[in-house]
């Protein structure tokens, strides 16, 4: 069905007559792998890498347990693009909706795959997913509006790749000497986690490519020689079928496209993937444009034939903001709230490079934000109780414009948890900041969960607040997340009051002596007392590294038990 959230109840009940429970139990382990010929440790599942594809039908319940057997790192999983309707504690970002999972412990995520689409799962724990903990999540559609228009499905994942582990890369980046705020630059590109992709291709058949970017930094351009892509879905929202000769796939974005074998096809057709490590490919001087990492795969019609290269003279990708939703849903309205976020790089009090919204960098607090929302009573509508996480409190039924002004000279992808937001405006580079006036917003804007914002420009996105929870808005360049480029939406907090959480989630807090009640500093007596907050980022970066000596179980008066609420 076209993705729309008219009511929470209707989403939860959709297709329940045919729903099943998909139960999975995974060990998270270190594995050695060489996806580009360079061997290094990566994080895999059940002693293997790449990580497996997780599949379900819309309406199914996914019950996934991970057992942390890494030994030296904490972990956790986020299910990118899943709305987490009434399961806000299953969203997965450590320090936000849960405590990280220490070695030797486990956690179970239980949620409804509420809408069909191409998703992915990944660690949302201290820069960990570039080390390999990620995989496709496919939610199939029982009433696919494009059913009968394609014969086969193909998963195509794209990622930049690093030879050093994330911890080393982060430690080198977060230094006062990094005055240009440079992220780590990748050592290469991998497709399908290094396995590559050649597709047996035939005249008269149409192929649905589910394209997913696992990148930590670089976007990727994609072009199929002599074939036009018919785009049918962006992220996990159906669109009216639209042609694209080239795509630019930003980190975390997904595109579902159809490619057809037609009567003139008679050979092997290459497709080209190029990493975009440029600041602004469309406006940078030609002399500065570089495409150092490329991959060529093939639509194979003649296994013993020639395998030519695909050459693109100039990358000019389709404007994804021009797509229109298949269901024709109008822009939400009337608007009740506006949030304006100015993004720029900054330095913290110790001179370390950071990234800021409105001159404030995100700082991890002592208590996960969702747990503060549940345990601070009537004060959970007061942003003060959440500390320096750039909090915005939103009421039920609010229609919110979020204007993100990108003050940087590079393109950045921004992702919002818990929503497929409407993209109302995303002008070209050097447009300046949003004036507060609506230029010409489309009557029926496209919906997605990750939008690229052009250099020295802005985007206006719109959400309907009907899903209680704590949801992050952040740049999906993973290095910039670790630099603090994150805001927090606390949605419908009155419903969250008194919510309690599964025993295994709380046990992971206990094992690490992490408080799980009270304000951001763990104060349960005076939740407006900010004296115990984290107000300056740490000067030494330890990432997900785990030291057992710092984790001493300690009893808490807040007794966990699992309940669910109604809206």
pLDDT, mean of residues 461-470: 98
- Structure confidence at residue 376 (pLDDT): 98
Domain shared by 235 and 380, yes or no: no
Residue 147 lies in a domain: no
Strands 54-57 and 134-140: parallel
Question: pLDDT tens digits, residue range 82-141?
Answer: 999 999 999 999 999 999 999 999 999 999 999 999 999 999 999 999 999 999 999 999
Question: pLDDT tens digits, residue range 207-222?
Answer: 999 999 999 999 999 9
- With 80 as the cut, is the pLDDT of residue 450 above it? yes
Domain shared by 101 and 174, yes or no: no
- Structure confidence at residue 512 (pLDDT): 97
Residue 430 lies in a domain: yes
Domain shared by 81 and 136, yes or no: yes
Instruction: Report the candidate in 412, 454, 463 with the shortest Cα–Cα distance to residue 433.
Output: 454
Question: pLDDT tens digits, residue range 15-65?
Answer: 445 689 999 999 999 999 999 999 999 999 999 999 999 999 999 999 999
Out of 1-5, 106-110, 545-549, least confident range: 1-5
**457 bridge partner residues:** 406
- Structure confidence at residue 550 (pLDDT): 54
- Structure confidence at residue 563 (pLDDT): 34
Domain shared by 195 and 112, yes or no: no
Residue 407 lies in a domain: yes
- Structure confidence at residue 440 (pLDDT): 84
Cβ atoms within 10 Å of 514's Cβ, excluding its own:
23
pLDDT, mean of residues 488-505: 97
**172 bridge partner residues:** none
Instruction: Examine the fold and report which residue of 89, 112, 140 is the final residue of a domain before the chain moves on.
Output: 140
Instruction: Examine the fold and report which residue of 279, 296, 322 is the final residue of a domain before the chain moves on.
Output: 322
- Structure confidence at residue 564 (pLDDT): 39
User: CA-CA distances (angstroms) from residue 303 to 152, 232, 263?
Assistant: 19, 29, 18
Question: pLDDT tens digits, residue range 238-264?
Answer: 999 999 999 999 999 999 999 999 999
- Structure confidence at residue 113 (pLDDT): 97
Residue 53 lies in a domain: yes
The single residue listed with the structure tokens 């495409």 is: 291
Number of structural domains found in the chain? 3
- With 70 as the cut, is the pLDDT of residue 13 above it? no
Between CA 556 and CA 204 the distance in angstroms is 64
What proportion of the chain, given as a percentage, has pLDDT over 70? 93
Domain that holds residue 41: 8-140
Residue 567 lies in a domain: no
Residue 62 lies in a domain: yes
Domain shared by 29 and 167, yes or no: no
Question: pLDDT tens digits, residue range 306-358?
Answer: 999 999 999 999 999 999 999 999 999 999 999 999 999 999 999 999 999 99
Q: Any idea what the CATH number is for the domain that residue 120 is in?
A: 2.60.40.420
Domain shared by 435 and 310, yes or no: no
Domain shared by 345 and 486, yes or no: yes
Domain shared by 394 and 516, yes or no: yes
Q: Tokens for 265, please give them.
A: 């096809």
Residue 432, burial from CB neighbour count under 10 angstroms (0-12, 13-18, 19+): exposed
- With 90 as the cut, is the pLDDT of residue 12 above it? no
At residue 67's C-alpha, the angle toward residues 520 and 557, to 5°, is 35
End-to-end C-alpha distance for the chain, whole angstroms: 23
Domain shared by 457 and 360, yes or no: yes
pTM passes above 0.85: yes
Between CA 137 and CA 546 the distance in angstroms is 28
pLDDT band, residue 5 (cuts 50/70/90): very low
Domain shared by 133 and 192, yes or no: no
Residue 77, burial from CB neighbour count under 10 angstroms (0-12, 13-18, 19+): buried
**221 bridge partner residues:** 248, 274
Domain shared by 45 and 115, yes or no: yes
Residue 330 lies in a domain: no
CB within 8 A of 564, min separation 6: which ones? Answer: 86
- Structure confidence at residue 439 (pLDDT): 76
Q: 402 and 419 in contact (C-beta within 8 Å)?
A: no
Dmax over CA atoms of the chain, in Å, equals: 74
For the chain, give the mean pLDDT.
94
Instruction: Examine the fold and report which residue of 96, 118, 140 is the final residue of a domain before the chain moves on.
Output: 140
Which is it for the CA torsion 369, 370, 371, 372, positive or negative? positive
Phi, psi of 377 (to 5 degrees): 60, -140
Which is it for the CA torsion 371, 372, 376, 379, positive or negative? negative
Q: 156 and 192 in contact (C-beta within 8 Å)?
A: yes
Indicate the helix (H) or strand (E) that contains 337. Answer: strand 337-347
Residue 329 lies in a domain: no
Domain shared by 370 and 517, yes or no: yes
Question: pLDDT tens digits, residue range 168-187?
Answer: 999 999 999 999 999 999 99
């Amino acid at each position: 069905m076209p993705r729309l959230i008219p009511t929470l109840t209707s989403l939860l009940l959709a297709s329940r007559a045919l729903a099943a429970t998909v139960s999975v139990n995974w060990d998270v382990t270190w594995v050695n792998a060489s996806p580009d010929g360079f061997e290094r440790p990566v994080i895999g599942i059940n002693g293997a890498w790449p990580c497996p594809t997780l599949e379900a039908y819309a309406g199914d319940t996914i019950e996934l347990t991970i057992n942390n057997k890494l030994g030296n790192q904490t972990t956790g999983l986020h299910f990118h693009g899943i709305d987490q309707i009434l399961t806000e504690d299953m969203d997965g970002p450590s320090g936000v909706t849960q405590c990280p999972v220490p070695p030797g412990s486990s956690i179970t995520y239980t949620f409804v795959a509420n809408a069909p689409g191409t998703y992915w799962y990944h660690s949302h724990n201290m820069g960990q997913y570039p080390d390999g903990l990620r995989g496709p999540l496919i939610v199939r559609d029982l009433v696919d509006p494009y059913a009968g228009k394609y014969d086969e499905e193909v998963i195509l994942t794209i990622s930049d790749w690093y030879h050093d582990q994330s911890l080393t890369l982060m430690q080198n980046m977060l230094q006062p000497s990094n005055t240009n705020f440079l992220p780590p630059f990748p050592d290469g590109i991998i497709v399908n986690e290094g396995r590559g992709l050649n597709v047996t291709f035939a005249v008269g058949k149409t192929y649905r490519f589910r394209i997913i970017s696992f990148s930590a930094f670089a976007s990727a351009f994609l072009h199929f020689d002599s074939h036009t892509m018919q785009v049918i879905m962006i992220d996990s929202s159906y669109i009216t079928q639209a042609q694209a000769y080239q795509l630019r796939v930003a980190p975390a974005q997904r595109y579902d496209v159809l490619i057809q074998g037609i009567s003139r096809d008679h050979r092997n057709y290459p497709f080209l993937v190029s990493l975009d490590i440029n600041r602004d490919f469309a406006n940078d001087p030609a002399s500065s444009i570089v495409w150092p990492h490329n991959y060529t795969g093939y639509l194979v019609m003649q296994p013993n034939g020639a395998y030519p290269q695909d050459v693109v003279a100039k990358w000019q990708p389709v404007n994804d903001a021009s797509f229109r939703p298949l269901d024709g849903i109008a822009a939400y309205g009337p608007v009740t709230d506006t949030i304006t976020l100015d993004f720029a790089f900054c330095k913290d009090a110790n001179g370390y490079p950071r990234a800021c919204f409105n001159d404030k960098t995100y700082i991890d607090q002592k208590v996960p934000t969702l747990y503060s929302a549940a345990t601070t009573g009537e004060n959970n509508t007061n942003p003060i109780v959440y500390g320096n996480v750039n909090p915005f409190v939103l009421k039920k039924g609010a229609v919110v414009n979020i204007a993100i002004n990108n003050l940087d000279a590079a393109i950045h992808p921004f992702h919002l948890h818990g929503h497929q937001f409407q993209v109302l405006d995303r002008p070209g580079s050097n447009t300046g900041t949003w004036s507060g006036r609506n230029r010409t917003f489309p009557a029926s804007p496209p919906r997605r969960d990750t939008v690229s914002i052009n250099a020295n420009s802005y985007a206006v996105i719109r959400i309907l607040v009907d899903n209680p929870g704590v949801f992050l808005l952040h740049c999906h360049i993973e290095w910039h997340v670790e630099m603090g480029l994150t805001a927090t939406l606390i949605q419908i907090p009155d419903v969250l009051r008194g919510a309690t959480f599964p025993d295994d989630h709380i046990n992971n807090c206990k094992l690490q002596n992490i408080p799980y009640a009270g304000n951001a500093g763990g104060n349960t007596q005076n939740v407006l007392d900010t004296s115990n907050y984290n107000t300056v980022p740490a000067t030494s970066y330890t990432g997900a590294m785990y030291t057992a000596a710092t984790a001493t179980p300690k009893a808490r008066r807040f007794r966990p038990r699992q309940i669910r609420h109604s809206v």
